[in-house]
Homo-oligomer: A and B are copies of this chain.
Amino acid sequence: MHKENNLSKNQQIIFDLINKSSEPLKAYTILFNVQKKGIKAPPQVYRALDKLVQTGKIHKIESKNAFVACRSSSCEISKATAFSICESCEMVDEISDAKLTKYLSSFSDKKGTKYKRFNLEFFGLCKKCK
């Protein structure tokens, strides 16, 4: 019986919470919300988050220290992430743009160096806030 790509109990609880959320969740907000399910301490949350990030189920929004579920068809297990972030309402959307992904994935700097991963964060006002 080989291992399916299944999540462990804590990983599933935390993924479900993030996946249902319409906004990025912070680690301690997550902790507070899963305490009734038996997850009581920060390391339990951070370990699950680490694993979910590694496997591309969620992403960390670095400028906010918060986490969102992956919604992209082109991020390719987190090698190529792009987000739009509203500076007014804090809403975050993952950008799925094959052309953008291709452009950045093939980018090479002035020394000709190519990179194996990127993370891009756009800031502005979302449709609702404009």
Question: Which residue numbers of A lie inside 8 Å of B, CB to CB?
Answer: 62-63, 84, 93, 95, 97, 100, 103-104, 107, 109-111, 113-124, 126-127
A54 CB to nearest B CB, Å: 14
Closest to A103 in B: B103
Chain B residues, Cβ within 8 Å of A117: 122-124
Q: Return chain B residues, CB-CB under 8 Å to A114.
A: 124
Partner of A121, one of B95, B109, B119: B119
Q: Find chain B residues with CB under 8 A from A127 CB.
A: 111, 113
> Does the CB pair A118–B121 fall under 8 Å?
yes
Most buried by B among A62, A110, A116: A62
